[in-house]
Amino acid sequence: MPLIRDMNETKIYRPSIGYYLLYYYSYLYYHIFYRWVTITGRENIPKNTPVIFAANHQNALMDALAMLYARKGKVVFLARADIFKSKFIARLLHFLKIMPVYRMRDGYEALGQNEETFDNAANVLKHNTPIAMLPEGNHAGFKRLRPLKKGICRIAFMAEERSQFKLNLHIVPVGLDYSNYFNAGERLLINFGKPIKIADYLPLYHENPQRAISKLRDDIAKSLKPLMIDIENEELYNTSAGIIEVYYHEVLTDRKLRNSHRNRFAVQQEISAKLNKIIIANPEMLNGISPQLAEYRSLLEKYNIRDWLVRKNNTSIPRLAAGILLTLVLLPLHIYGMLFNYLPYHLPVIISRKVKDRVFHSSIHFGMSLFMYLIYYLILIIIFCLLVDGLWLKIGFALSLPFTGIFAFYNYRNLLKIIGKIRFIRLSINDKNTFANIISLRQNIIDQINKLFNRS
């Protein structure tokens, strides 16, 4: 692939003005797309030292962007070479600071072209520009660390080798946790772990390169696990995930902890670790909970209600009426924001839903709406300026577009909660037996989890 070879010879670590403009615009939009982005452990990133970031891979493009924006600066990525086949795509990826890596499936001869990538990677690292990788190799929308590929280790050692083992390279593990993989307005937690110094593995590498690569891969995996929620057993994944989802708030309440993403993550991680140990010791201990969880989820889906409504079970009609009244008062502002933001928000949602792999949905939504909003707003502002006189009116209209759009989005989410409360109250009035069964079923599940953890 001569085009890729030519691009590898360029100084990819030098960002252009266009790159910076895109970076800061997309950085701003990323922090609008996610309601909260919480970052911990940033002090673990070595200063003035070459770094490779290694993150768990659960949410397609959003994982790479999480590392890019959390680091606050340019980062070079490595991606599989087959996506560089189109000249246009190859140049676009190069502009975005993405280099190709060849795999065995690309053909034995193609692997030789990785020499150029290794040289370029070493050059990037020598210029103190971090490289980011997702060593699981592909994404999967569940909270479990899958076996890591060896590519990140080979690149680390090759980069050191091409620098006469004087690079002082570190690998920083990065744990990512999403409150929801698919929707905008969710929460993202980014945990930077303690750096792994490649120099510590060089004696073993000189003695036996394959053992050193395997040892480094295993140590990266061990470093990643404490930074994420890792539900280890694949067969009992749904049961474990259901227990975590139903039970974590009980622990937060007992400990009087605020329901922040950081606290929720810590509690969910603790529950996950307990479940992993129980399943290893005796997986049959979950047999009594699994069918009840399945029945509970089925009832929630059938009557279109959420677990938080059942957990609280204290919907106040006066408060609900006040919420409805406030929604009606704010309705003009909501309609204004919706009218001028509906197309760039909803069109990417429609298109993303046509993609079978749901994990790509948020990436497609983010990528499309990132540019659609910019173009759409520019068109609206130009039309408004042509039709209306007055500088302050024009400025006010321009500023109103994003702010009322954000308001309309979160007001819509609040409206869905109100509708959910109405549906929950209706169920409690119209079908008392089913309502009582759902409440009782959830409490039985909580009681069984308490016994499970007490026994363990």
The average pLDDT across 162-187 equals 93
| 413 pLDDT more than 70 | yes
> Hey, what amino acid is at 21?
L
Tokens at residue 130, please?
């971090």
So what's the pLDDT on residue 101? 77
Residue 8 has a pLDDT of: 47
pLDDT for residue 316 is more than 90: no
- Name the band, by pLDDT with cuts 50, 70 and 90, for residue 99: confident
Percent of the chain having pLDDT more than 90? 72
Show the beta-strand stretches assigned E in 49-118. 51-55, 76-80, 98-101
Nearest Cα to Cα of residue 54 among 228, 178, 262:
228
pLDDT, average across residues 94-112: 70
Tens of pLDDT, residue by residue over 40-88, are 999 999 988 999 999 999 998 899 999 999 987 789 988 777 777 778 7
pLDDT of residue 9: 45
Backbone angles phi, psi at 313, to 5 degrees: 45, 40
**Predicted pLDDT of residue 3:** 45
pLDDT score at 111 = 58
- Across the chain, mean pLDDT equals 90
Give the amino acid at 167.
Answer: L
* Cα→Cα distances 296→168, 292, 344, 433, Å: 53, 6, 37, 14
User: What's the rounded Cα separation, in Å, for the pair 416 and 138?
Assistant: 34
Whether the Cβ atoms of residue 75 and residue 64 lie closer than 8 Å to each other: no
- Indicate if the pLDDT at residue 105 is higher than 70: no
Q: Which residues pair with 196 in a beta bridge?
A: 171
Alpha carbon 91 to its chain centroid, in Å, reads 26
Residue 345 near residue 405 (C-beta atoms within 8 A): yes
Give the chain's end-to-end CA distance (angstroms, integer).
57
Domains of the chain (ranges plus CATH)? 2-227 (3.40.1130.10), 232-287 (no CATH), 317-439 (no CATH)
pLDDT in tens, 229-268: 999 999 999 999 999 999 999 999 999 999 999 999 999 9
Give the pLDDT confidence of 140-156 residue by residue, as tens digits.
889 999 999 988 998 89
Confidence of residue 95 (pLDDT cuts 50, 70, 90): confident
Residue 297: CB atoms within 10 A of its CB come to 15
Residue with tokens 């590519």: 151
What is the pLDDT at residue 151? Answer: 85
Closest listed residue to residue 348, CA positions, set 362, 369, 331: 369
